[in-house]
Amino acid sequence: MTTQRTSGRRKQALAAAAVVAALLTTAACGGGGDDSNGGSKNGAPGFDAANNKVAQASAAKKGGTLKFASTQDADSWDTTRGYYGFMWNFSRYYSRQLVTNKTEPGKAGAEVTPDLATGLAKVSDDGKTYTYTLRDGITWEDGKPITSKDVKYGIERVWAQDVLSGGPTYLKEVLDPKDEYQGPYKDKSKDKLGLKAIETPDDKTIVFHLPEPNSDFEEMLALTSASPVRQDKDTKSKYGLRPFSSGPYKFESYNPGKDLTLVRNTEWKQESDPVRKAYPDKITIKFFSNANDLDARLVAGDYDLDLAQTGLSPQGRTTALKEHKENLDNPVSGYIRYATFAQNVKPFDNIHCRKAMLFGADHVSLQTARGGPVAGGDIGTNMLPPSVPGSEGQKYDPYGMAGENKKGNVEKAKEELKACGKPDGFKSKIAVRNNKPVEVATAESMQASLKKVGIDLEIEQYDGSQYASVVGSPSNVAKKGYGVIIMGWGPDFPSVQGYGLPLWHSDYILESANNNFALIKDKEIDGLFADYLTELDDAGKAKIATEINHKVMEGAYYLPFVFEKFINWRSDNLANVYTTDGYSGMYDFVNLGLKNPKK
Amino acid sequence: MTAPLHEPTAEAAPSAAEEAAVAGAEAKAVQGRSLGRIAWERLKRDKLALSGGIVVLLLIVVAILAPLITSLYGQDPNEFHEDLIDPLFGTPTGSLGGMSGEHWLGVEPVNGRDIFARIVHGARISLLVGFLSAIVAVIIGTVLGVLAGFFGGWVDALISRVMDGLLAFPQLLFIIALVSVMPDSMLGLSGTGVRLLMMILVIGFFGWPYIGRVVRGQTLSMREREYVEAARSLGAGRFYILFKELLPNLVAPIIVYTTMMIPTNILTEAALSFLGVGVKPPTSSWGQMLSSAIDYYKSDPMYMVIPGVAIFITVLAFNLFGDGVRDALDPKGSR
In a 13 Å sphere around the CA of A164, the CA atoms on its Cβ side amount to: 30
Contact A236, A163 (CB under 8 A): yes
CB-nearest to B280 from A321, A369, A459 is A459
Q: Quote the ipTM score.
A: 0.75
- CB-based contact B296 A314, cutoff 8 Å: yes
Residues of B in contact with A17 (CB under 8 A): 312, 316
CB-nearest to A318 from B89, B276, B282 is B89
Region for B290 from its dihedrals, namely left if φ exceeds 0, alpha if ψ lies in -120 to 50, beta otherwise: alpha
CB-nearest to B297 from A27, A375, A440 is A27
> Residue A459's beta-bridge partner residues?
A430
Neighbours of B153 (CB within 10 A): 8
Contact B204, B140 (CB under 8 A): yes
What DSSP line would sit under B230-297, residue for residue?
Answer: HHHHTT--HHHIIIIIIHHHHHHHHHHHHHHHHHHHHHHHHHHHHTT-SSPTTS--HHHHHHHHGGGT
Q: Which residues of A518-534 are buried (b: 16+ CB within 10 A; e: fewer)?
A: bbbebeebeebbeebbe
Residues 135-174 of B with CB under 8 A from A: none
Contact A363, A479 (CB under 8 A): no
- CB-based contact B79 A364, cutoff 8 Å: no
Residues of A in contact with B334 (CB under 8 A): 3, 6-7
Taking the C-alpha atoms of residue A360 and residue A405, their distance in angstroms, rounded to an integer, is 8
Taking the C-alpha atoms of residue A474 and residue A344, their distance in angstroms, rounded to an integer, is 8
Q: Is the peptide bond before B4 cis (omega within 30 degrees of 0)?
A: no
Strands (E), A380-537: 427-433, 456-462, 484-489
User: Along the 599 residues of chain A, how does pLDDT read in single tens digits?
Assistant: 333 333 444 444 444 454 444 444 444 333 333 333 333 456 788 899 999 889 988 889 999 999 999 988 998 999 999 988 899 999 999 999 999 999 999 989 999 999 999 999 999 999 999 999 999 999 999 999 999 999 999 999 999 999 998 889 899 999 999 999 999 999 999 899 999 999 999 999 999 999 999 999 999 999 999 999 999 999 999 999 999 999 999 999 999 999 999 999 999 999 999 999 999 999 999 999 888 889 999 999 999 999 999 888 888 888 898 899 999 999 998 899 999 999 999 899 999 999 999 999 999 999 999 988 999 999 999 999 998 999 999 999 999 999 999 999 999 999 999 999 999 999 999 999 877 788 989 999 999 999 999 999 999 888 877 888 889 999 999 999 999 999 999 898 889 999 999 899 999 898 888 899 999 999 999 999 999 999 988 899 999 999 999 999 999 999 999 999 999 999 999 999 999 999 989 999 999 999 998 87
Residues of B in contact with A32 (CB under 8 A): none
The Cα angle at residue A46 between residues A41 and A51, in degrees rounded to 5: 155
Among all residues of chain A, which has the CA nearest to that of B77?
A448
Contact A345, A325 (CB under 8 A): no
Taking the C-alpha atoms of residue A322 and residue A599, their distance in angstroms, rounded to an integer, is 25
- The pTM is what? 0.81
DSSP state of A549: H
Q: Is the peptide bond before B282 cis (omega within 30 degrees of 0)?
A: yes
Helices (H) and strands (E) in chain A, counts: 17, 23
